[in-house]
Amino acid sequence: ANFSEQVVESFPSDISPGVYYGWACVGNGDVHKMVLSIGWNPFYKNIKKSAETHIIHTFKDDFYGEVLSIVIIGYIRSEKNFSSLEALISAIREDIEEAKRQLDLPEHLKLKDDNFFHLPEAKTVKH
């Protein structure tokens, strides 16, 4: 799930490019583990900064148009380039495993139930 340019531009300027982990919620759904990449994705030679959320969950349907709420808990690694697509995929898999390990820690697990994710009036999308 990618955030729009406007959302990325509104991120605090002191957030370093890199890979982060935390919690994500689509609409009023359940809260899931996630990995977030912030930066220029040098492998794909992007010229605009992006924020891409990988929710560690399989959804039955797509969720275009839904509100995506995230809480960034920690930092995994800096942004880097890769020599091949296979190396990039391998790094992403390692990032996901690291996120799972970190988010299972009691101090991170308790944030899954934060009230931030349970504010229905803030999560309504008008179609």
Neighbouring CB atoms inside 10 A of 3's CB total 18
- 52 catalytically annotated: yes
Q: Is 75 left (phi over 0), alpha (psi -120 to 50) or beta?
A: beta
Alpha carbons 59 and 104: distance in angstroms, whole number? 21
Q: Which of 9, 52, 94, 107 is catalytic?
A: 52
**Nearest 5°: phi and psi at 94?**
-65, -40
Give catalytic residue positions: 52
